[in-house]
Structure 1
């Protein structure tokens, strides 16, 4: 079992700081991201490993959000070349992650990158939404028999089923996702998490591209076990993904919010909790004498009041008390007890 799998099996939400290409092609900045993500409480940092020439054609255009964040000039290939790290860089990043005690994840975007990541024993493979239906690629990844985190943006249930059928050797974890940057709130569709849990019987997480932290926290509240969120040192830096990312203080708030929600979930058994016991005594009510009464009297309806505290006979036994004969004197407002009558 990998470290990733063992952390998931512990039951706590697994939080991924998606650095992606927010290092802007600089190793030092990538290592700074590792440090900051760890300080924020992330379980893992995730990068993107690719060979620009093998990922896109020379004339491939940027996505609309990339044009908005980087300008309209230049192709997607030009942009990616500036964001590419070398294999030696990733060897150093993984070594540094191991030294610092945080999981190292990366998304391969081509066959060569996948083979490289397997060779350095990545903790788990993250497959992007763009490749979730790339069946030949999924079959290659499956051969490594490492955990696969499969993002499902832009997909319907039948496409997810198709992808899962092609993976037979590796454990798969699914991420619900809306592939827009930032994702419109009205398109988030968090309840798809429930549908995916029911249909696929797998651990489901959420890859969040919305602004802010609220939607990720809501995802945890409805059952997401993995949260992935874009992470940057500075949102004002140039690059395609910084503006849709959280800065360290915001990411730390996200982690804190998730851990708080986790604690609040409980075990699902409805019961009086330990912290409620003292409140239960003063807030609940009991059957009490409505007037001074004497031994031998028969208790009538007008003789019984229902008042706090809740340390006596509960009100649900009201009808059992009416008609009983008192065995001893009792004062107004005194709580009835079973020993007071026959």
Structure 2
């Protein structure tokens, strides 16, 4: 394999293309323009929606599982499994996109289904589990996740709390003695590019609650409830984990993972290592990165920028493709990105870019191929 290979590493274009589709469509445009040009497709994700699909593309098999959705209704989900290693994508069980009719349930949505996915991985004999978080509908501190694995959350009368973050305001005690004993022999990784703590101005309720439909009063209630949850957990375990980086990820599900002994790793880096990106870079003459919107959040280490940084370190040029570009090229250049291509700019509007993503990626791929070839 020569270094003239183009390595296509796109994340999802939310609402118009999965990561797998985006990579395929761009690669089709490259191949149609310059058929002799080698192209490798490596769809990526940063821990949210599409993570299991990205691992499937990396050689994992998928296992279907029926679990509880964020409001308790059954949903179809998948695990990615390779040997005794599994990848659990929180969004498949507790994702915002799973709420019926597009409604939001910021006070009552639960991560119980994510705990069911973890239990399913244990049932398959997996003892290395990556919990990829992102895109959640929940702000329950991972309470539902813990309950699905055997924990009990009790009010002052000894009764079980109802699901959701708001109910944690009435928490009096947590019983962890019933946690699945297999967890003690399991290596758990919290894959998250979010480093927010659980509480405070940078915490789960304040920063992410509004994204899940919480108004100002509901954010205040959730902050109070999560504070109560953290205090009771700290009293139970003897250690306060609420200020650890990543504790606030996925509405506080990160805290539950840390309670279970998880080690936090950047979601994008977990996938890039699994994809064997360093080997792929050694064979590449150009890397194409991108996602639906390249913005300031992307620059904080999301998958496209993580890949660009690694390519830049080994001297491989990088091009970026996005539905929308909301950062200056000078900012991207600091990460080794030499050119950037906006589908919205090519189409003339966001609406056309969303409706005609495949055509626009074909055209962009052809343009890159002619420049590179």
Give your verdict on TM over 0.5.
Answer: no
More strand as a share of residues: 2
- Whose RCO is larger (CA < 8 A, sep 6+)? 2
The alignment's TM-score, normalised by the length of structure 1, stands at 0.30
Larger radius of gyration: 1
